[in-house]
Amino acid sequence: MKNSQTIKRVLSYTRPYRGSMIAAFAGAVFYVLFTLLGPVLTGLAIDQIFEPGRVNFQGIFYALLALGGTVLAAAASQWVMSVATRKISSLAAKDLRQQAFEKINVVPLKFIDRHSHGDIISRMVNDADAVSEGLLQGLTQLFPGIATILGTLVVMLVLHPLIALVVVLVTPLSIFFAGFVAKRTAHLFRQQSAAQGRLSGYINEMVSGQQIVKSFGYEKECMEEFDQISQVLFDSGLKSVFYSSVTNPGTRFVNSIVYAAVGVIGSLTVVGGGFSIGRLFAFLTYANQYTKPFNEVTGVLTQLQSAVASADRLFALIDEPAEPQDGPDALAPESCEGRVEADQVCFSYRPDVPLIEDFNLEVRPGQRIAIVGPTGCGKTTLINLLMRFYEVNSGAISVDGVDINRLKRNSLRRLYGMVLQETWLKNATVRENIAYGKPDATDAEIQEAARAAYAHSFIKRLPMGYDTVITPGGGNLSAGQKQLLCIARIMLCQPDILILDEATSSIDTRTEMLIQRAFEKLMQGRTSFVVAHRLSTIQSADRILVMKAGQIIEQGTHTSLLEQDGFYAKLYYSQFAVE
């Protein structure tokens, strides 16, 4: 039942391409018609041989000439059908992949956080290709198959109704056999697709972390873990292919019985004078053509089941709930003063593990707020809530007195400029990466932002300067250089509120001093949130929030917090005190 629903849904993606569907169907019909003429013409040629010495060579010549024409016409029709079905399957897979990628951009961030990135990539690449190939095979067999079955059935009924009835009654046995096997192997193909996704995710994880793998000497354990996942894929793949491969020999056995029955009954009919040898040849050929679609469908059954399993994984992604739509009366401010308030905010990633409870905060415009605390205390979570990457469970966060739930998400996020500890640069030129948040920026603006971030000098030393293409993952840049480009990207946008989450962690001490000066200039008059582990970078903050277990346990200036001799003082002296 589930498989039939999946197939119907996949076929719904072919509806926009009705023109190609009509061309494919027409090509299939003409291909079958010309193919059906072949046995008739061959039978006519055979019947021109009456007995030794009595052969109508002229009749044979015309029959063979007509046969050659039908073969060429059938080939041309098959070409039209193949081109049309390939176009349909490719475009349908393209739409599937497009819809899946669009969903990636609208699902809540928690979906991305909870799923292996390699598995998501596998769904959009490998699974989409499997659906495309399965759809191609299905359409290629579907159109000519239906036309062949109907056409040959009509011709056989005209030639000899009794023998045609034998063919019709015996052939369905092959369908029942194929369906019986297919129902019992569907779960194996789902296991195979899931294992392929896990393997892609593991490979992606190990390749991106290869430096850590080598530095810890983890190669052997890494290989053992890979072998385990690979073995699961091998076992499920082998079982699914093995059991599915039984269907084709089984259906061929049934169809051979059909062919033998037609041969025996037809021969007796010829002996009785009710059939000519040429008509018997034609009938045997039609019986073979009638059973051929059943053989072909069962021959590609493995691929079709794999495509269905892949489609299920793609549809699971496409059906994932998107972020709630902005309300019709949602506001879209282009700027703000920077007053941020949190009123009794509660949030947890899991209902059974509380994190932030009854959190309150009031930030005046232009204030510089530093957030410190041990790992896992909720610093980055607070940033995610401010940006509405995650929704609060209860309470409210407001900007300039307006609840952020009343603001359009894109408008809210444009108010913020964020530099994270983990850098992200796309495979494009340096210029395009800096202008990512402001695509219409001029070259002068881009260079000015790069100078403000102290990135201009190293950019000019690159092979093609601002036109240097950054490789995927930024492999041709150092960690510090990548961070400088991310900072330049924010310098260009000039946002109203800044969020710096360990923004200088990958930069050397000298460059960090320069960046701090740039940030000082950038933060003038702007509300700023600075998440930091190195407390030396936040001593000039207007207010320092000390968090522990999702709560603000201390707050004040650097000097006042040291005077309190509390948790912050212990953190500070643990970094700077000398015994």
Q: How many CA atoms lie within 13 A of 41 on its CB side?
A: 18
Domain of residue 492, residue span: 340-576
- pLDDT score of 579: 38
The tens digit of pLDDT for each residue in 450-480 reads 988 888 888 999 889 999 998 877 778 887 7
Percentage of the chain exceeding pLDDT 90: 4
Q: What 3-state class would DSSP assign to 430?
A: helix
Note the helical H segments in 324-417: 379-386, 409-415
Amino acid making up residue 337: E
Amino acid making up residue 440: D
Tell whether the model's pLDDT for residue 381 goes beyond 70. yes
Q: Does residue 20 form part of some domain?
A: no
Residue reference for tokens 């892609």: 200
Q: Which residues pair with 407 in a beta bridge?
A: 331
Residue reference for tokens 């996704």: 197
Kindly state the average pLDDT of the residues 95-117: 84
Q: Are residues 291 and 405 in the same domain?
A: no
* C-alpha to C-alpha distances, 477 to 436, 470, 474, 509, nearest whole angstrom: 18, 8, 6, 18
d(CA 33, CA 375): 73
| Sign of the CA dihedral with 138 first, then 143, 146, and 148 last | negative
pLDDT level of residue 233 (50, 70, 90 thresholds): confident
The CATH code of the domain that includes 443 is 3.40.50.300
Q: Are residues 309 and 350 in the same domain?
A: no
The CATH code of the domain that includes 194 is 1.20.1560.10
Kindly state the average pLDDT of the residues 33-55: 72
d(CA 158, CA 541): 94
- pLDDT score of 578: 43
- pLDDT score of 295: 67
Top mean pLDDT of 11-20, 58-67, 501-510 is at 11-20
Kindly state the average pLDDT of the residues 543-561: 84
d(CA 396, CA 325): 18
Q: Name the residue with higher pLDDT: 304 or 578.
A: 304
Tell whether the model's pLDDT for residue 363 goes beyond 80. yes
Kindly state the average pLDDT of the residues 406-412: 88
Q: Are residues 390 and 501 in the same domain?
A: yes
Cα angle 186, 187, 191 (rounded to 5 degrees) comes to 120
Q: Does residue 71 form part of some domain?
A: no
Percentage of the chain exceeding pLDDT 70: 86
Q: What 3-state class would DSSP assign to 544?
A: strand
Tell whether the model's pLDDT for residue 418 goes beyond 70. yes
Q: Which residues pair with 547 in a beta bridge?
A: 552
Tell whether the model's pLDDT for residue 167 goes beyond 50. yes
Q: Does residue 159 form part of some domain?
A: yes
Tell whether the model's pLDDT for residue 38 goes beyond 80. no
pTM exceeds cut of 0.75 = no
Kindly state the average pLDDT of the residues 25-47: 78
Tell whether the model's pLDDT for residue 211 goes beyond 80. no
Q: Which residues pair with 396 in a beta bridge?
A: 343
Number of domains observed in the structure of the chain: 2
Q: Are residues 348 and 483 in the same domain?
A: yes
Q: Does residue 386 form part of some domain?
A: yes
Tell whether the model's pLDDT for residue 529 goes beyond 80. yes
